[in-house]
Each structure stands twice: as structure tokens, then as C-alpha cells.
């Protein structure tokens, strides 16, 4: 069993596309969809899994009245960025279960995700040689399930993909013990260092549509010493996050109570 981190950080700002639907200054995760808050849909799916031990929620507090259906639930502050939140939450997860080598990160803005979809992702992440498992959704899968999602896709050789919002990683990746952390941290405030870290060759491969997931794994390992495995996920819901009003409408229509 793994611990799950639910990333619920971030508030709705005045210039946020969701400001016309939600309340400015309110956490985005509390946006109501289909009679429930967005985070509640995700938490219900995570808590129902027999593969999950404890749950850590980033960006919310006990005052928000979350129900984990008996699973141990912990709250962590929003530190203002995905990297810092993942780093902090993973460290806390390690304190709760020092023997666990992996954690699963789930974004709070994929309310249509269901338990069996998360379980499928976790089941793909059993090879201990990899330190990061990153989910990808192919364009035909996304557009067949959600024709109006308007997701941005990365053009690879022979296919187009977008990123998923459920990923599994080794605790060392985000607790400061991995070489990738020092490299990423050193490059955070320098555009030049970021460019060097990313590298010109991968950019050329992407622009010429010659990049493959296998080559991407090699480049990430070479530049970050991070053993990465891309997982092609068959569930569009894993990558269908709610960032725009039209995406909110898609989720609202799908999650509306049956009449």
C-alpha cells in the first residue's frame, strides 16, 4: 500500500479563467461541481482504493471538513509551487511510513477520475529500477472521451500526447536525496541554467517530431540522473483537469446527479 498526496494548492485569482465560476481568493479545489466540491470527488476516489494507506492533502486544512472515509488524513500547507509542495509532502509521507519507497501524487482538479483508474496507474509502477512514473494520454483517447476538452498536446514521433495528473515516484526523488533535486534547485532562478538542463538536442527532436517516449526517458536520465518511465494511460479522466470554464462545464455535465 502507498500513501497518496492530493495536490490541492492554489487559489482562484481575479485573472483566473475560473473566477467567473468560483470565488476569488478561495482554493480552486473547493469549486463545486455536480453537488460536491472538486477535491471531494478526488478524495472519495482515492480513499476507496485498497492500494492506499494514508492520505496527505496539500493546500487545505481540517476546517474544510474533508471526509477520508476512515483512511488516516493529514493536511499540509501550500508552499506556492508544485516542486516545493511535492518535496514537503513526500518528506512528511516518509515520516508517517519510513519503509515505503513510493508515493502517488494525485491532482485535486481531476474530479472525473475514478478509483480503478488510479489503481491501474499504481499497478504499472512496480519496477523498482524506475524512480518516476509519469502518465501520458494519447490525443485520440482524450478527444474520443472529451471531444471539447481543448487540451494542449505535445507532438512526438507518430503520436500526440498530454500529461496525466496521477504520477508515482520514489520518495528519494522529492526528499532532497536525489541528484535531480540539486540540479533542478540550482536551475530554478537561472534561465541559462534551465536551458542547459533541458538541453538543445531534446528541443530539436521535439520541433522535428522525432522525439519518442523511449528517447525522452534516455534524455531525462542523462540530464537529471532520474530513471523515468512514461506510462500511456487508457483513461482520459486521469488527464482531464478543470482549468477553464468550458472544462468545468464538461465535468459539471458528467457529474450532475441523476434525475
> Going from the N-terminus, what domains does the chain have, and what CATH number goes with each?
2-132+163-171+242-255 (3.90.550.10)
pTM to 2 decimal places: 0.88
Distance CA 50, CA 39 (A): 19
- Over residues 70-84, the mean pLDDT reads 89
Closest CA to 138 of 231, 216, 72, 205: 231
The three grid cell numbers given for residue 62, joined into one nine-digit string = 481540517
pLDDT in tens, 171-190: 877 665 555 555 554 544 44
Helix, strand, or coil here: 132?
Answer: strand
Helix, strand, or coil here: 4?
Answer: strand
Residue 111 clears pLDDT 90, i.e. is over it:
yes
Beta pairing partners, 168: 104, 133
Contact in structure between 131 and 228 (CB atoms under 8 Å): yes
Q: How confident is the model at residue 195 (pLDDT cuts 50, 70, 90)?
A: very low
Closest CA to 237 of 154, 137, 132, 108: 137
Label each residue of 177-200 as H, E or C. CCHHHHHHHHHCCCHHHHHHHHCH
More confident residue, 38 or 257: 38
Distance CA 138, CA 70 (A): 35
The three grid cell numbers given for residue 53, joined into one nine-digit string = 494507506
Contact in structure between 5 and 56 (CB atoms under 8 Å): yes
The overall average pLDDT reported for the chain is: 85
Amino acid at each position: 500500500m502507498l500513501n497518496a498526496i492530493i495536490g490541492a494548492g492554489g487559489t482562484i485569482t481575479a485573472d483566473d479563467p475560473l473566477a467567473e465560476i468560483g470565488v476569488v481568493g478561495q482554493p480552486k479545489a473547493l469549486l463545486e461541481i455536480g453537488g460536491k466540491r472538486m477535491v471531494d470527488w478526488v478524495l472519495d476516489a482515492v480513499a476507496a482504493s485498497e492500494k492506499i494507506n494514508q492520505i496527505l492533502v496539500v493546500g487545505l486544512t481540517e476546517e474544510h471538513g474533508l471526509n477520508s472515509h476512515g483512511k488516516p488524513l493529514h493536511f499540509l500547507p501550500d508552499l506556492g509551487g508544485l516542486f516545493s509542495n511535492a518535496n514537503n509532502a513526500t518528506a512528511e509521507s516518509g515520516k508517517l511510513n519510513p519503509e515505503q519507497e513510493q508515493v502517488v501524487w494525485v491532482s485535486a482538479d481531476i474530479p472525473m477520475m475514478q478509483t480503478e483508474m488510479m489503481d491501474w496507474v499504481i499497478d504499472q509502477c512496480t519496477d523498482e529500477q524506475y524512480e518516476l512514473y509519469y502518465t501520458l494520454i494519447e490525443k485520440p483517447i482524450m478527444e474520443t472521451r472529451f471531444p471539447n476538452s481543448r487540451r494542449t498536446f505535445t507532438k512526438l514521433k507518430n503520436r500526440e500526447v498530454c500529461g496525466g495528473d496521477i504520477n508515482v515516484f520514489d520518495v528519494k526523488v522529492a526528499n532532497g536525496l536525489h541528484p535531480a533535486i540539486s540540479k533542478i534547485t540550482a536551475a530554478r532562478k537561472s534561465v541559462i541554467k534551465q536551458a542547459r538542463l533541458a538541453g538543445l538536442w531534446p528541443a530539436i527532436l521535439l520541433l522535428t517530431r522525432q522525439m519518442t517516449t523511449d528517447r525522452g526517458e534516455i534524455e531525462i536520465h542523462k540530464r537529471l540522473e532520474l530513471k523515468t518511465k512514461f506510462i500511456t494511460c487508457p483513461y482520459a479522466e486521469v488527464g482531464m483537469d478543470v482549468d477553464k470554464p468550458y472544462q468545468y462545464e464538461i465535468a459539471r455535465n458528467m457529474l450532475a446527479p441523476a434525475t
